[in-house]
Structure 1
Amino acid sequence: MVRVPTLKYHKGTLILHPPPKGKEWLDFATWDDRVEKFRIPGIYYRPLVETLQAAKIEFIDDAKEFISLDLSPSVEMEPYPHQQEALLAWKKAGRKGVVVLPTASGKTYLAQLAMQATPRTTLIIVPTLDLLHQWYAQMEAAFPDLEVGLLGGGSKDRSPILIATYNSAAIHSETLGNRYALIIFDECHHLPTDFFRRIAEDAIAPYRLGLTATPERTDGTHRELDTLIGPVIYRKTPQDLSGQALADHKVVQIKVKLSPKERETYEKAIKTRNNFLKESNISLSSLEGWQLFVQASARSVAGRRAMLAHREAKEIASGTDGKLRVLAELIAQHYPESLLIFTNDNATVYRISQEFLIPAITHQTPVKERHEILNLFREGQYKTLVTSHVLNEGVDVPDARVAIILSGTGSAREYVQRLGRVLRKGKQPDKLAILYEVVAEDTSEERTSQRRRGGEDKPEPKEEPKHQQLELISFSEVNKPKKIPRAAESSVPWKTDDDSIT
């Protein structure tokens, strides 16, 4: 009597035994001499099942442990058009893919809509503990009759809806891999690393949703999201949603001249650095060039001198006294409005905090103190807040209309995240958000600003929409896995919310 093949899950992989007839499924499998059985990576579960179904191969599926849920929300809101469009695009793509939406555009509610349309056990992956608690609060409010659990920050729950940090999910990927039918990757640009990618590779989840404001990574690994989650299936920029889901906004660039003394020191430092780069045949126009510079700087006295000169020039440009005078003018101009100030380093944060008596938040700020500062900012007791990178991602920043970038990196992602901090409409339907960029003129900061605004890390930068306003003001008087095989055309399509899934 012929035994029916059984599909089982084992520590991030699938075992199909005894081997079924046909050859189509072998594209996914590797023979394991240790157990004398065929083993298949967990991520291949869906195409493998579709291939077996298409070939009309009978098998027993003991791999999946995900179940159906009653995901009736306690409160329903009318989705924005872009949320409805994104959900439809995700469904049409087979419930796999990445949605790119700016900060404050409602990605969390979009994820809730995806869960309601795919009512199965769900795993939500987030990068920070702040986001872990924010998602937990939203899921508990949305589905009060369901158990919502946490994995990370000292919690190790097992629940139908589980919210986990990337670190904790990667550590436990082999035990989580077959329990969830839907995985939502928040800030999914974190996923393509050697450690985090195992979350996606060990999981058999047939449904996957990635959420991010900017998927592109400087190392190029964002292309692997196509395999780990699915391709980008919907994309909107802050300009696309300006005046609709997000507030209208304008970007104002203020150029500040270095003082004669600062200019002299800056040019001397840049010359020292550039002479070394020229002698070493190194160009800083790419990430690889920067890595070569770092390596070369550790090999010789001249290299160390060049690196110190580079840092000195950067500190002069980012911390020129002229910027602080502009900052004082902007604070006075917008008082008593809420105002966020961003810098690229903690030293400048603490300098501003001390000189202007402004509360500061950095990665060194204790969690309780951070929450207290944000609450006082939300309540209006603090009108201004200064920070470096810690509020870029994963923190629910209270509504503000004005943000000032005194210094930053060339990252388009960071730029979009910081802009997003002032784009929430809040209770102001006619809100006009303003982002000031204060840039040291005739320094490397100008090129850095162009990169982050131009989005050069994107493969196909789009023409800037006409309704975005950019004002230029010059203050001259101021001083990997292998590719997943394509499944055969199936006469039994993968089941959706319109077809019962077991």
Structure 2
Amino acid sequence: MLQIYPQDAKFLYVTGNTTGDVEDGSPFAKIDLVAQRRQSMPPMYLYELTHERLWNACRLGWSAADVITFLREYAVSPLPTSMQSHICQAMERWGDLVLQEVNGRLELRGSAKVLSQIRQHPEVARLLVHARQQSAIVRADTRVALKMALAKAGYPLVDDQVSQVKPQPLDVSLTPTLQLRPYQAAAVEQFVAHKGGAGVVVLPCGAGKTVVGVASLAKLRCSGLVLVPNEASASQWLQHFLNWTNLDESQVGLDEGRQALKPVTITTYQRLMAKRRSGDYAHFHRYASIHWGLVIYDEVHLLPAPLTRLAAELTSARRLGLSATLVREDGRTNDVFSLIGPKVYEAHEDQLTALGFLSDVKCVEVQVPLSDEVRQLYDAAPLRQKYRIAADNPDKMQVIEALCQRHVSAQILIMGQYTDFLQQVSDRLGCPMLDGETPKERRLHEYDRFRRGQTRILVLSRIANVAVDLPNADVAIQVSGLFGSRQEEAQRLGRVLRPKPGGKNFYTLVSSSTLEERRARHRQQYLVERGFAYTQVSAADILSEGTTVNEVKRVPESRVGRHVKERRPVSGD
């Protein structure tokens, strides 16, 4: 039973058992559409009524009265007046600005008051041409930039940018062997039923986002373009289409820039955005000239980056964004919704773990001290070199060996940032190491060997951070990371979320009393907010014979979200 405890204008606590509430229309599914989950402390959750989520509700057809009525239905106490005012003020902005095509050109329309307000923001004003009292001309090549600038300034823009040209139908259907899980079916239904034509689905790593993409295209029975972050992911998508649908290789394929595009084409963001020496795009216009039925943006959280955001300019009847880690260190997370569309469905790790669809993962931070010699080097080094020295701490090697020995029958992934140290690990353990310089064919070959169990330990650089399917991994050992990237931490943990009896293990090795230790706190923040807890142990605990991780349990206070400690407790606590 969902219960809501309003706190102030924006924050509210939610309690209840989320198990089973993965279907669309459930109370927990609805609250994820109007509020952002900030902290998971099952069975209690902290939510924030952000502008972006309230605008998201507007795009899905909710009014301010609908949101307030929904919250009142489950609230254990009256909604504060400030909360109701916040909801109304945020949602009444929706529809103030509309981007339309008029006589072959883009025109931004709104009231004289709103147009005057947005012209006060330099990043918006420079994108407006021939501004009049209630309208302004917008160049087509600045459409994406305008969306992002307005979102940053706090103004939602109504522009679903879907093609009015009816796409060519495609005879595509799912094979009987593919049975959608309840939450996957719910995600597909929510996306297909959304009248706006575009939306984002958020599912944890290992929950089968690719299944949702393939099933959505089969449901719509139309042509499709799938954009992915790397070649390994492209190969996986192709194999899934061939295995799970009636399409053959004449209808679906990878595009390498030379052959004719197929009804279902899979390509990378890099190829889409590649430029010639002249500065012109090498392939973009090939994709942009086609009226696709559906464009699927895999790992859609990458889209706001300068090198990929132009992909949002592609026109199609429908657009689907897929992500497991909707978090960015540059603060551009909400630009995903501006560029693609509203979040139409989300399922959380704790829900899917309770239902048996994800594995229970033990997260362990291993503190590895620096030797006296390395400590002197670290103390004398300039700030920009300290992190690298801590990340490449030589004493991490014996901890890695001990963990591999502890899990002697497990499939193990060892992941890190700096390839020199990773190569040393590979040489020491006698196992393959893959990085950005590894040829595509060898990467795919080694991934396949690992999946088959022919390789027990695989060392990976950042190439495996996103969209690499290694479902049989039992243990992940992170030896270093990209500074304070929360997204990377979550993606790497996602490599061991596929369900297995007895659970799985995620170790992160951190040099104690260094800059790396402080960055680790930030990296772990996203996962802690999602309900994961890190156990902290020392290297000596791992190296001591007979000591197990479960014997040493401590969740440092720094892991507790600061905004949770600052909020007032729920009545009855």
TM-score, normalised to structure 1, is 0.70
The match for 1:387 is 460
Q: Kindly indicate whether structure 1 or structure 2 has the higher relative contact order, using CA contacts under 8 Å at least 6 residues apart.
A: 1
**Runs of 4+, deviation exceeding 4 Å:** 13-19, 38-44, 47-51, 461-464, 476-479
Displacement, 1:411?
Answer: 1.2
For residue 155 of structure 1, report the CA deviation from its aligned partner.
4.3
Measured in 1, the distance between the counterparts of 2:168 and 2:357 equals 34
Q: Secondary structure at the match of 2:180?
A: coil
Q: 1:193 to 1:255 in 2, by over 3 A?
A: closer
Question: What CA deviation, in whole Å up to 9, does each residue of 1:7-55 have, x standing for no partner?
Answer: xxxxxx9986599xxx99xx9x989xxxxxx9985989xx78999xxxx
* CA deviation profile, 1:389-432 (whole Å, cap 9, x unmatched): 1111233325111111111122111111111111123xx4x241
Deviations 1:124-180 (A, max 9, x none): 111212222211121123333464344533543322222122233344444433421
1:418 paired to 2:492 = yes
Aligned twin of 1:160: 263
- What CA deviation, in whole Å up to 9, does each residue of 1:311-353 have, x standing for no partner? 2x22331122321111111111111221111121100111111
Is contact 1:150-1:156 (8 Å) kept? no
Evaluate the alpha carbon distance shift between residue 323 and residue 193 of structure 1 in structure 2; reply closer, same or farther with a 3 A threshold. Answer: closer
Computed over aligned residues only, the root mean square deviation of the Cα atoms, in angstroms, reads: 3.4
Match of 1:106 in 2: 208
Written as runs of structure 1 = structure 2, the 5 A alignment for 1:101-250 is: 101-145=203-247, 147-150=250-253, 152-170=255-273, 171=281, 172-177=283-288, 178-201=290-313, 203-243=314-354, 244-250=356-362
Show the counterpart of 1:58: none
- Aligned in 2, Cα 1:261/1:176: closer, same or farther, shift over 3 Å? closer
User: Would you say the 8 A contact 1:102–1:237 is kept in 2?
Assistant: yes
> TM-score, normalized by length of structure 2?
0.62
Structure 2: gaps spanning 5 or more residues: 1-98, 116-127, 131-136, 145-157, 274-280, 545-573
Give the drift of 1:434.
0.4
Distance 1:123 1:350 in 2: 37
Identical amino acids, percent of aligned pairs: 28
* Alpha-carbon contact 1:140-1:148 (below 8 Å) kept: no
Between structure 1 and structure 2, the one with the greater Rg is 1
1:329 aligned onto 2:432: no
Give the residue type in structure 2 aligned to 1:326: V
Q: Which letter does structure 2 place at the counterpart of 1:83?
A: Q
**1:251-307 per-position Cα deviation (integer Å, ceiling 9, x unaligned):** 0111111122222222222xx53xxxxxxxxxxxxxxxxxxxxxxxxxxxxxxxxxx
User: Matches of 2:104 and 2:321 in 1, distance apart?
Assistant: 35
1:301-450 to structure 2, matched below 5 A, reads: 310-311=384-385, 313-409=386-482, 410-425=484-499, 428=500, 430-450=501-521
* Mapped pair 1:261 → 2:373: yes
> Is residue 160–residue 341 contact of structure 2 (8 Å, CA) maintained in 1?
no
* 2:165–2:317 Cα contact (<8 Å) kept: no
Cα deviation 1:456-497 (Å, max 9, x = unaligned)? xxxxx98453xx453211235879xxxxxxxxxxxxxxxxxx
Partner SS, residue 464 of structure 2: coil
Change (3 A) 1:157 1:240: farther
State the SS of the aligned residue for 1:385.
strand
CA shift at 1:388, angstroms?
1.5
Alpha-carbon distance in 2 for matches of 1:149, 1:214: 28
Count of residues paired in the alignment: 394
Greater mean deviation of Cα atoms: 386-395 or 341-350: 386-395
In 2, the alpha carbon distance for the partners of 1:230 and 1:211 equals: 11
1:41 & 1:239 partners in 2: Cα distance? 43
Letter in 2 for 1:414: E
Deviation digits for residues 201-251 of structure 1 (CA, Å, limit 9, x no counterpart)? 2x3323111011123222233332223211233333434422522111110
- Give the drift of 1:92: 4.9
Contact 2:173 2:221 in 1 (8 A): no
CA distance in 2, matches of 1:331, 1:71: 45
Are 1:80 and 2:163 counterparts?
Answer: no
CA contact (8 A) 1:126 1:186 kept: yes
Aligned counterparts of 2:304 and 2:315: Cα–Cα separation in 1: 17
Distance 1:145 1:236, change over 3 A: closer
Q: Secondary structure at the match of 2:334?
A: helix
Q: 1:256, 1:322 within 8 Å by CA — same for their partners in 2?
A: yes
SS at match of 1:206: strand
Change in 2 beyond 3 A, CA 1:375/1:194: closer
- From the superposition, tell whether residues 30 and 180 of structure 1 become closer, same or farther in structure 2 (CA, over 3 Å): farther
**1:43-62 alignment to 2 at 5 Å?**
none
Q: Which amino acid letter does the alignment assign opposite residue 424 of structure 2?
A: R
Residues 189 and 216 of structure 1 are in contact (CA less than 8 Å); yes or no, is this contact kept in structure 2? yes
Tell me the SS of whatever aligns to 2:295: strand
Give the partner amino acid of 1:164.
T
Q: For 1:135, give the aligned amino acid.
A: W
Distance 1:473 1:86, change over 3 A: same
C-alpha spacing 1:195/1:352, structure 2 compared with 1 (3 Å): closer
DSSP 3-state at the match of 2:428 = helix
Q: 2:539 aligns with which of 462, 475, 481?
A: 475
Name the counterpart of 1:490: none
Asked whether the equivalents of residues 97 and 208 of structure 1 are also in contact (C-alpha less than 8 Å), the reply is yes
SS of equivalent residue, structure 1 residue 255: strand
5+ long unaligned stretches in structure 1: 1-12, 32-37, 52-60, 274-309, 456-460, 480-502
Distance 1:50 1:364 in 2: 38
